[in-house]
Chains A and B, each alone.
Chain A
Amino acid sequence: MLSRAASSLFWMARYLERAESQARLLDVSLTMALIDVPEDRVEQLSVPLLVSGTREIFFEYHEEITPQNLIDFLLLDDRHPASVYNIIQNARDNALHVRGNLSADVWESINQAWLELKELQKKGVTESNASSVFDWVRERSHMFRGAAYGTLLRNDAFHFLRLGTFIERADTTARVLDIRHVMAVRAMEEHATQSFFEWTAVLHSLAAFEAYQNTYGHNLEPMNVAELLILEADVPRSLHGCLKEIASLLEQIESGNAKRSRRLASSLYANIHYGDRDYIAERGLNEYLVDFLDRIQGIAGQIQKDYMGWKQ
């Protein structure tokens, strides 16, 4: 397939995944800010800014981090690229680019999201209706995924699209886990009840609460949470799960001479596949995750180079 089309499919899926994670993250952070003691509220509200790396840009537009400012900034503000508005617009732009490779159902699901988003932007979002907007973003993402699964031919177009989803997802999981884990550990040292909420926040941010209860029961243990989100292959947003998909997708893509992305992905996958919690604990979670982020970005860069960058 066309390199440009592969790139657009990859990014289209990344953006849609990003919109979903951001909605989830915002939802959890706003809820946590209500539960948390007043002095820690700002810290809770900062999490989505830290994950998306937009804390500095935020202060170009707002003086302080309040729930409403955060909603304005990360949902509908079209002046910076990290808002859900611009993320979905980028997804739609990419979809428009590869419209010839998409089924009508997939294209319509994205185009419809964009049309509704423009209406939302006109109406505005406040603290009181923010939750329904988060639900809407998640539903839209589910719908896109459903349309893609239900109607696309399982060819390279589909594989590049799925690659985009899992690269973005792995990246998000590592970031969220890294930032929220630090907060949760600190809460444990301070007050016990608060720490329960912190751990559930990690799980809710990554849609893994039910998965945790299923696996470990009600007992919230920090290393269990890390183990679940890193090593459990069957958890949809775990690093293991994502890497398994990435490695397998790269094997399925018609490759020409592009061996490098496969090697990088398979080696990271093997690392996690054969990893255990003691190793992570020894190394320190933060260091482990920083290294992971580095490597996943390396893989993403290599995929772009191997398949999408074109030197004549």
Chain B
Amino acid sequence: MLIQTPGEGLYDELFDQDNRVRPHYKMLEEWLVNADEGLIAEKRREADVLFQRLGITFNVYGEDQGADRLIPFDLIPRVISASDWQKLQAGLRQRVQALNRFLFDIYHGFDIVRAGVISAEQVFANPQYQPGMQDLKLPRNLYSHIAGIDLIRHNDGDFYVLEDNLRCPSGVSYMLENRRMMMRLFPELFAHAPVAPIDHYPNLLGETLRAASLKPDPTVVVLTPGRFNSAYFEHAFLARQMGVELVEGADLFVHQNKVFMKTTVGPQQVDVIYRRIDDDFLDPLAGNPDSMLGVPGLYAAYRTGNVVLTNAMGTGVADDKSIYPYVPDMIRFYLDEEPILKNVPTWQCRKEKDLKYVLDHLSELVVKEAQGAGGYGMLIGPKASKKELSTFRSLLKARPQDYIAQPTLSLSTCPTFVDEGIAPRHLDLRPFVLSGKKIQMVPGGLTRVALKKGSLVVNSSQGGGTKDTWVMEDDLC
């Protein structure tokens, strides 16, 4: 089949600037060029049927409950060279380590604030800051045990961190299932390509969760909001893979500041809760009083030290888009190292000078809500209508502190099956970084791809798809 070459000025994962195939893609490219169109169409249908049967689906808010939708899965993997991954891995470790140090610091000595690196207002007035976490001693001083870091490759060929997700990052089940699907559909590919394995992620996660407690053999559970949550599949999947109970709020109760689950033989104490519920809904007595998802008294038990939450309460303050610009400074401050991974230049509209620049260059920039997620509430300047631009102009003037702006990055592209054949589409990457006794990750992550031509929005809730992510074990292929 013919592979369309990328547009001018874009970084393509497969083709270099002279439209030559990059060495680590050689094998895949040969296979694609020789692939039979009928066979590929057949495999795509097979993948859809399998995903349906496995029930690897997600619910989109606003649609019928139980209207299970498939996330479109693309058969062409995104390949990362061994040397690129080495660098990414070192950068991710460094970044997550600094972020955990930062979280410890802002709930203990505030060194970074006192040193004047970040203003007190930006930390303490942040709505995600949990004053109740101050001075609380957590095992190993860890806050974000599971982090998902969103990366993109810009047209200069470098990776940039787009966003740090330190609360309940999701998507790792798709990473694992995508690989399983590829191995099932194209075993011959794996026989020839030295693709680094990722299947041990649940083992590493289990190890990380057990290490979150100082008890020798802690009881771990996964806490889900329930089966109508968009990530329920993932919660159940991880619980089953790790061999721990999948619980809902109603399965737990707190007695004398200890957390128990309701079992057929009576109460059983829980030591570590891998919670997939936001801070505010965890305990109706401490957060949102209307929450039916949480456990009354959980926060008190947590404060007493009788149970560990992963991730900790109040981690959101560090993955906020207004804190993001300071992460390179954090790395310098806590680790005394130069950041390995780049940040995207960011204008903070809370600063007068930055706001002026943003308003003057609105049509060139991407504007995001500092608290936003899921690709909602953002403006993509170059693609916006006059009306959208003027709406954002007034929003920015009214509440500048709620927004940040970044240059429109040209995300790299990767060949993708679409209606018109194999064409380049933009993508990003979310590796998952686990912090326990040590920092661990599996080689790769979740690759999300925008399926519409030219689109930069890769979120599944906005019609994006996913691909398998291959990290090559050596650079000689």
Partner of B227, one of A96, A111, A115: A96
A260 to chain B minimum Cβ distance, whole angstroms, is 14
Query: Is B362 an interface residue when CB atoms closer than 8 A count as contact?
Result: no
Chain B residues whose C-beta falls within 8 Å of the C-beta of A99 in the assembled complex: 55, 236-237, 240, 246
The reply to whether B54 and A4 contact each other, CB–CB distance below 8 Å, is: no
Size class of the B contact interface (CB-based, 8 Å): 20 to 34
| From B52, B246, B261, B264, contact of A256 by CB (8 A) | B264
A4-B251, A99-B240, A99-B246 known; A307 vs B55 contact (CB < 8 Å): no
Q: Report Cα–Cα, A1/B239, bound state, in Å.
A: 14
Determine whether A34 belongs to the interface, using a CB cutoff of 8 Å to chain B: no
Interface of B is mostly: mixed
The CA-CA distance from A111 to B52 in the complex, in Å, is 8
Q: B243-261 vs A: 1/0 string, CB under 8 Å? A: 0011110110101000001
In-complex Cβ contact of B248 among A4, A104, A111, A308 (8 A): A4
Measured between alpha carbons, how far is A295 from B194 in the docked complex, in Å? 63
**Chain B residues near A111 (CB-CB < 8 A):** 53-55
Cβ–Cβ contact B54 & A3, under 8 A: no
- Contact-size category for A: 20 to 34
* Structural contact, A100 and B55, CB atoms closer than 8 A: no
Interface check B263, CB cutoff 8 A: yes
7 new A-B contacts at CB < 8 Å, known A4-B262, A100-B236, A108-B55: A2-B245, A2-B263, A4-B248, A96-B55, A100-B245, A107-B55, A254-B265
The reply on B266 being an interface residue by CB < 8 A is yes
Q: What 4 A-B pairs have minimum CB-CB distances, sorted nearest first? A: A100-B246, A99-B236, A100-B239, A256-B265
Q: Please pick, from A97, A104, A253, A312, the residue contacting B264 in the complex, using a CB distance under 8 A.
A: A253
Interface residue SS majority, chain A: helix
Per-residue B-contact encoding for A63-103, CB less than 8 Å = 1, 0 else: 00000000000000000000000000000010011011110
Shortest CB distance A9–B (Å): 11
Kindly list chain A residues whose C-beta atoms are within 8 Å of the C-beta of B265.
Answer: 254-256
Task: Please determine whether A3 and B264 come into contact, CB atoms closer than 8 angstroms.
Answer: yes
A112 contact set on B, CB distance < 8 A: 53
Residues of B contacting A5 in the complex (Cβ-Cβ under 8 angstroms)? 245
Chain B contacts for A160, CB-based, 8 A? 264
Q: Which residues of A contact B251 (CB under 8 A)?
A: 2-4
On chain A, the residues within 8 Å of B264 by CB distance are 1-3, 6, 156, 160, 253-254, 256, 307-308
- A97 near B55 (CB under 8 angstroms)? no
- Binary B-proximity of A213-257 (CB < 8 A = 1, otherwise 0): 000000000000000000000000000000000000000011110
A255 and B261 CA atoms in complex are apart in Å by: 16
CA distance in complex: A310, B266 (Å): 9
Given A2-B247, A111-B55, do A310 and B262 touch, yes or no (CB 8 Å)? yes
Smallest CB-CB separation from A110: which chain B residue? B55
